[in-house]
Amino acid sequence: MKKTFFILLVSFLSFKDAIGQHNYRDSLKHELSQTKADSSKVDLLDNIGWSFVFLDEDSAANYGRKGLEIAKQINYKTGEANCLGLLSFSLSLNGNFIGALDFGFKNLSLSENLKDTILIATANSTLMTCYLEQDDYEQALKYGLQAELFSKSPKVHTGTRAIILGLLGSAYEKLNQPDSALYYGLKSYALTKEWSGIYLTLGNIYADKGMNAQALEYYRKGIPVAEKSAIYIDLVDIYNGMSKIFESTDQIDSSVYYAQKSIKQKGVQSYPEGELRAATHLAHIYNQRGMKDSTIKYLQLSIALREKLFSREKTREAQSYAFNEQIHQQELKQKIEQDQLQYRNRLNVYILLAGLLILLLVAGGLWRRNIYRKRSFVLLQKQKQEIDNQKSKVEQTLEELKNTQSQLIQSEKMASLGELTAGIAHEIQNPLNFVNNFSEVNTELIDEMKSELANGNNQQAIELADDIKENEQKINHHGKRAGDIVKGMLQHSRSSTGVKEPTDINALADEYLRLSYHGLRAKDKNFNAEMVTDFDESIGKINIIPQNIGRVLLNLYNNAFYACAERSHASTSSAGQTYEPTVSVTTKKSENNIIITVSDNGNGIPKNVVDKIFQPFFTTKPTGSGTGLGLSLSYDIIKAAGGEIKAETKEGEGSKFIIELLFKTI
């Protein structure tokens, strides 16, 4: 079981300065005692831990935990990733695969966040090896192919890439896919001749394919390489592989010779699985020869090795149980925290709903107050005519009228905010729908990309990644769109600061046009109108107070749609007449002036009242349908901005309002 991990460690040692050497480990310990708790100490703990990996797994894990704790305290992310990899590796050697996978996935996630190619390749390799040790070859391939992809980077050591390719070959060999196994095995062999594991892998592959001569050739080449690097685990498996081949070709003496060499190898006490295979094989051969003493000898050895492995498996199960219990406690804690978060979220929703209810009540009160003020004003007009010669009373009445007008102006602003609400709700739903839809599509694309990566279809995975990126850009665009709508609503609801700012007048005109239309549609579902825009794109941005100009445009649009709606209702009741409500808005740059024109094909304004439409409190709408302040406020805003507003109308055909702003573009 440990052999696969040892292969990966060889890759690690290729850039860890031969930390397995005893003298070097002692020097690291001495240096550790002289170092304060900083990134250097984390690196030293990591290096010492790796030097203990095959000598004492528990010591290796302890050094990894100490390094991880310090790395988190000082926010040293690279050191944290290295220590997570060490912990995953050490727990795997102990057979605690659940703990190993937990640390391995944390290592992979952190490495991906750091966007460190070397760390990502190593993290995927560790996970591949862990799954190989559990005989889960499908999962091993999944992470192995990821590791192979990142190992193509020039930053990754050639030896590391060779190890990854060799492990992929081993995984395919276990899955009985000899062609794929041979492909990756030969690619690994082309990169390194100093790794005994690749000779073993190629020997196994050729043996599976029945090509005994080639298998023996690679086995024999691997023997001196394994002896030189003291990788006795590889020697055990090479000798076992040769023994099986000689048995299959009826060369029994040679088969016995190499099986016995497997058992006699130095360091084999750390690899009882290989020794068990050799002992079982020898017992089988001697039994066929009728050599009872030798058969009993190796059967007894097999039984002893099985008991040793059984005891170790029980220890591993106990460790896994303890780790699972720890994970269970963490999940319970997370569930409690999630329940508390959900409770707080529900409480926030209730508070928000209560706030909205209060807002509606206030809006209703303001509307009723507006009606009351209008009736009061009519009464004051009559009183003014009756007491015209009473100067003192007239002055008092005028003062009251000024106060009333100020309150009604604020009421008009709040009323316009209420009219905007329905339009804003409709407008903001569109970008939110886009965000939700593209998010769902991205989820499906990610699943497809994972599948393609698992199948080795890298080009298709890249194309899927491009699609995901494009969708993310669309999500960002529509998210900003929703934000702009909310920002516009907030600006409209606030009192004007009087500060001019560069504003895209075309975007402002278009935004309020659609909000006004959907606001009316919310009141009258049967109403439909065509909106026509003709914007001069050469205008650019101009310095205006956007809240004020927005209120002017909203008043003009509301009046235009109202006129179209009135004419539409009249046409519906008159048989044989076809009427298509239309509201148009155009912008045009004329020298240093900006001209905005709002037109409709409604009923128009009677000639006898055209001159009164900009007067305060004058309205052609039925009582209760308008305050008479919209056009008056619009006139004052445009005048204050140094511009002009005028109306052109033809009764029965429609109206046109022209705004001329005396501003230079910027």
Determine the Cα–Cα distance for residues 198 and 189; give it in Å rounded to an integer: 6
Contact 563, 602 (CB under 8 A): yes
Largest CA distance in the chain: 142
- Compute the chain's Rg from CA coordinates: 41
Q: Which of 222-226, 280-284, 328-332, 458-462 has the highest mean pLDDT?
A: 222-226
Long-range CB contacts (< 8 A, 24+ apart) of 407-411? 407/369, 407/373, 408/370, 408/373, 408/374, 408/617, 408/627, 408/629, 409/629, 409/633, 411/366, 411/367, 411/369, 411/370, 411/373, 411/627
Query: Are 148 and 142 contacting, i.e. CB atoms less than 8 angstroms apart?
Result: no
CA atoms within 13 A on the CB side of 492: 28
More confident residue, 68 or 401: 68
- Determine the Cα–Cα distance for residues 284 and 272; give it in Å rounded to an integer: 18
- Lowest-pLDDT range, 140-144, 370-374, 506-510? 370-374
Q: In whole angstroms, what is the distance from residue 548 CA to residue 641 CA?
A: 9
Statement: the pTM of the whole predicted model exceeds 0.75: no
Q: Residue 193: pLDDT above 50?
A: yes
As a whole number of angstroms, the distance between CA 446 and CA 469 comes to: 11
Q: Which amino acid is at 476?
A: N
Mean pLDDT for 104-126 is 92
Q: Is the pLDDT of residue 72 over 70?
A: yes
- How many CB atoms neighbour CB 497 within 10 A? 10
Q: Is the pLDDT higher at 516 or at 627?
A: 516
Is residue 52 pLDDT above 70, yes or no?
yes
Q: How confident is the model at residue 3 (pLDDT cuts 50, 70, 90)?
A: very low
Give yes or no for residue 429 having a pLDDT over 70: no
Question: What is the pLDDT averaged over residues 583-604?
Answer: 91
**Contact by Cβ (8 Å): 486, 515:** no
The position carrying tokens 């003709």 is 534
Q: pLDDT at position 486, please? A: 63
Task: Map tokens 């390194």 to a residue.
Answer: 192
Q: How much of the chain exceeds pLDDT 70, in percent?
A: 77
pLDDT of 143 strictly over 90: yes
Q: How many CB atoms lie within 10 A of CB 334?
A: 10
Joined together, the tokens standing for residue 70 give: 């310090």
**Beta carbons within 8 Å of 354's beta carbon, 6+ residues apart:** none
Residue-level pLDDT at 317: 52
Q: Reply yes or no on whether the pLDDT at 575 is more than 70.
A: no
Q: What is the pLDDT at residue 449?
A: 81
Q: What length does the chain have?
A: 666
pLDDT band for position 406 (cuts 50, 70, 90): low
222-232 residue pLDDT tens: 989 888 877 77
**Per-residue pLDDT for 623 more than 80?**
no
| Under 8 Å between Cβ of 664 and 616 | no
CA angle 635/639/642 to nearest 5° reads: 150
What's the pLDDT at 586?
95
- pLDDT above 50 for 318: no
pLDDT in tens, 472-531: 776 876 676 666 666 655 555 555 556 888 888 898 899 888 888 888 787 888 888 899
**Contacts for 473 with CB less than 8 Å, ≥ 6 apart:** none
Q: Which residue has the higher pLDDT, 31 or 115?
A: 115
Type of residue at 211: M
> Can you give the pLDDT at residue 8?
46
The residue among 11, 21, 72, 9 whose CA lies nearest residue 42 is 72
Q: Which tokens is 600 given?
A: 């409709």
Average pLDDT over residues 183-206: 90
User: Mean of the pLDDT values across residues 358-362?
Assistant: 83
Dihedral-angle region of residue 135 (phi above 0 means left; psi in -120 to 50 means alpha; beta otherwise) = left
Q: Identify the CA nearest to 267 among candidates 305, 319, 238, 230.
A: 230
Q: What percent of the chain has pLDDT over 90?
A: 19
Q: Of the given ranges (123-137, 213-227, 375-389, 514-528), which has the lowest mean pLDDT?
A: 375-389
Q: Is the pLDDT of residue 458 over 80?
A: yes
Residue 380 has pLDDT above 50, yes or no: yes
Mean pLDDT in residue range 418-431: 57
Give φ, ψ of 35 to 5 degrees. -105, 140
Structure tokens at 95: 């057979």
First vs last C-alpha separation in the chain = 73
pLDDT value for 5:
42
Inter-helix orientation angle 232-248/212-229, to 10°: 160
Mean pLDDT value across the chain: 79
